[in-house]
Amino acid sequence: MTNEMWGGRFASGPAGIMEEINASIDFDKRLSAQDIAASIAHCEMLAQTGIISRDDGEAIVKGLDTIASELEAGSFEFSRALEDIHMNIEARLTALIGPVAGKLHTARSRNDQVATDFKLYIRECLGSLDALLRALQQALAQKALLHAATVMPGFTHLQTAQPVTFGHHCLAYVEMLARDRSRFADARKRANECPLGAAALAGTSFPIDREQTAHALGFDRPMANSLDAVSDRDFVLETLSGAAITAMHLSRLAEEIVLWSSDRFGFVKLSDSFTTGSSIMPQKRNPDAAELVRAKSAAVFAAFTQLLIVMKGLPLAYSKDMQEDKIPAFTALDTLALMLAAMTGMVGDMQPDKEAMGKAAGAGYSTATDLADWLVRELDMPFRDAHKVTGAIVARAESAGVALSDMPLAEMQKIEPGIDDAVFSVLSVETSVESRKSYGGTAPENVRKMAQGWIKRLENESTSG
C-alpha cells in the first residue's frame, strides 16, 4: 500500500527492502518527547499568528498531550511502515482528532522537524553528561584531599621520573575533566539556535513567528539561514568530538588503574564491586570495569569518525544520508555516560597502598633532580653542569647498588668536592614533594588547597544546578 503521508505522488508502496533500509523508527523513536515538545510549540505559534484557528490549535495540542501520555505509559504502537517518529506521531494524531491533525504540518518539514528534535535531545544529553563529569570530579577531588601527602612515583615514558603525591595525580584528571565540561558547555551554546521554521530548505511563505517557537523551546534565537538550519549537524559533531576527548581521558585513567592494581605495581586495590574472577584461576581479581572503560572508548571515537564521513560529501541542503547521524550519536553518548558512571564508582572504590607507593617512589633514583637543584642553589653551579655531576653520582650509586640517600658522602665528594652533609636533606621522596611548592606543583600543601578549592566549587555547582 502507498504511504498516505507522502501524498499523491506515489501510486504504490515501497519494496520490502526499501522499507527496511528507509525506516528509522527503530532508533529515532528515542526522540518522541522532543518531537511532541517541538510540535506543541509549532502548533501554538500557528494559532497565535492566525495561520490556523485557535480551536484547531487547542485540538491538536490536546491530541499531542494524549500521545505524550501514551508514550510515557508505553502503550503507543509504533509502525515501521510509517518510517519515522514524526510520521508515527502524526498518524496517531490523525486517528485521535481527525483531518485537523494535518494542519500541524503547515509551514514545516520533516527536515527542520528532525533537526529541532535532535538538537533538543543533544542539549539534554549535554546537561546529563555535565552532571556525570561533575560527579567524577568530586570523587577525584575527595580522593586527592585524602591523599594529598601520599607519595607515589611520577612517570615519564612509564619510567620513574620524580616523586609526586597520589592526590596530585588525581587532581590532574580533575583538570582534564574541567576542560571536557568546558568543551560541552561551549558546544551547548552553539547548539542553542532553533532550526524550526526553516521548513524543507527555503523557509516558508506563511507569516510564522520563529522567535516565538525558538523561545518556547528554550533556544536563544532561530537559526539565521534556512539552508544551514536543515543541513547542519555541527551540533552533533561538536558533541561527539568533546565526547571522544572525554573518552580518551577516561581510557587513560582506566589504563592507570589496570597498571596500578596489577601485582607488579600494587599501588591500589579494587573491591569485589569493580573486579571479576577467573573461571580457572581461583586467585585472580581482574580489573574488568577499568578494562571495559578503556575498550568502550573505541565506540565513542568511531561514532565521531562515522558521522564526519557521512557528512563530508553532502551538498546543501538535506540528504537522506543524514538519517544515519542518530545511531552513532545515541551509541556514543550512551556509552560515554556508562563509562563515566563506572569510573566514578571505581575512583571511590579504589584504596591506595601507601607503603607500596612510597617504596616505588624512591626507586629509580627519583630524587636525582633534587640533587641537581641543590647543586645549583648551594654551589651556584649552572644547571647543565649540575645535571652532569648528578648523572655521574647516579651512575656511581647504580654501580654500587645503593639509593642516592644511602650514597656515602665521600663517594659523592670524589665527583664534586663541594658537596657536604646538607645534601642529604633533599634526597628523600618526602622532602622532594614538599619542596615542589610552585603553583601547580605536587607539594602536599598545594594539593590540599587545590583539592579543597575544587570540592567547594563543585559542591556550589551541585547546589546551584
CA distance 462 to 29: 31
Q: Is 112 exposed, middle or buried (0-12, 13-18, 19+ CB in 10 A)?
A: buried
For residue 15 the three cell numbers come to 519494496
For 222, the 3-state DSSP assignment is strand
Cell numbers for 141, please give them: 577531588
Residues 6+ positions from 280 with CB-CB distance below 8 Å = none
The set of cell numbers assigned to 177 is 575533566
DSSP 100: G
- Per the document, the length of the chain is 465
Is the N-terminal amide bond of 317 cis, ω within 30° of 0? yes
Q: 265 vs 46, 152, 278, CA distance in Å?
A: 66, 11, 20
Question: Are 375 and 353 spatial neighbours (Cβ–Cβ below 8 Å)?
Answer: no
In this structure, is the dihedral angle defined by the CA atoms of residues 194, 197, 203 and 206, taken in order, positive or negative? Answer: negative
Distance CA 46, CA 175 (A): 47
Question: In the beta sheet, which residues pair with residue 159?
Answer: 156
Residue 259 amino acid letter: L
**Helices 288-311 + 234-260 axis angle, to 10:** 160
Q: Do β-strands 159-165 and 221-222 pair in parallel, antiparallel, or remain unpaired?
A: unpaired
The full DSSP string for 255-273 is HHHHHHTSTTT--EE--GG
With cell 561533575, the residue in question is: 134
Report the distance separating Cα 222 and Cα 194, nearest Å. 4
Query: How many contiguous H segments (helices) and E segments (strands) does the chain have?
Result: 18, 6
Question: What are the catalytic residues?
Answer: 157, 278
Q: By three-state DSSP, how is residue 368 classified?
A: helix
Give the bridge partners for 163, in sequence order: 153
Distance from the Cα of residue 182 to its chain's centroid:
10
Give the residue from 96, 155, 113, 130 showing the smallest Cα distance to 24. Answer: 113
Q: What is the CA radius of gyration of the chain?
A: 31
